[in-house]
Structure 1
């Protein structure tokens, strides 16, 4: 507990029950205003970068390019889907071109979800 919290606690202990309830109600009111202000001031919508595919691009190269293009997306959230396409390619024999098309579609779907949520 820091000095401010100790000071606030000491002051609240000197209040009667009604005043403590008012203090808590006012604190919650201030917190709700802060949340409303943060929701109203949402970050601007980021657009993907248009990075062209490299000649004879590999699946790993495509993933790197798409992560750079769609820099606003959380790679951790997409990890399972991206790994699934990579597995289809490496283990299942999905051709490079088909895997890259699937990855591009995957990133676009995630971007559309990001855009709709913003």
Structure 2
């Protein structure tokens, strides 16, 4: 029993039976107002799909979104767009951009799992 519980019992014992009933009724009322604790679901595991021969950047994005279905695509939109632009406008090769996309999805998955960021 911790100090708060001991204090509560000392105070409760000094009250008359009617006041003790009121304290218990109030405690029950407070308990009834509490939100039920939600069980924290275990993070989903990705279902990594293999790359297809001759895969395009768009195809890789679709494959990775399906592989990492638990991730919010809106959160990754900026990163995904930047990599797509590097391929289309910057001239990065398909292979380079796909590798970077795979790393990016893995980073976002690690954040989803609550893993600490690398310093």
Same structural fold, with TM-score higher than 0.5 when normalized by the shorter chain: yes
- Check 1:109–1:28 CA distance in 2 against 1; reply closer, same or farther (3 A cut): same
Helix, strand or coil for the counterpart of 1:34? coil
Shift of 1:50: 1.9
Q: What residue is the counterpart of 2:93 in the other structure?
A: 95
1:6 aligned residue: none
Higher percent of residues as helix: 1
Say whether 1:79 aligns with 2:77: yes
Structure 1 runs of 4+ aligned residues shifted over 4 Å read 26-29
**C-alpha separation in 1, matches of 2:40 and 2:80:** 28
- Counterpart CA distance in 2 for 1:29 and 1:88 is 56
How many angstroms apart in 2 are the aligned matches of 1:98 and 1:82?
A: 13
* 1:63 CA drift (Å): 0.1
Max Rg structure:
2
TM-score by length of 2: 0.68
Measured after TM superposition, the shift of residue 98 of structure 1 is: 0.1
- Structure 2: tracts of 5 or more residues without a match: 1-25
Q: Closer, same or farther in 2 for the Cα pair 1:82/1:27, shift >3 Å?
A: farther
In structure 2, the partner of 1:69 is 67
Q: Distance in 1 between matches of 2:79 and 2:30?
A: 43
The 1:28–1:66 alpha-carbon spacing in structure 2 relative to 1, beyond 3 Å, is same
Q: Distance in 2 between matches of 1:102 and 1:28?
A: 50
Structure 1: gaps spanning 5 or more residues: 1-22
How well do the aligned residues superpose, as a CA RMSD in angstroms? 2.0
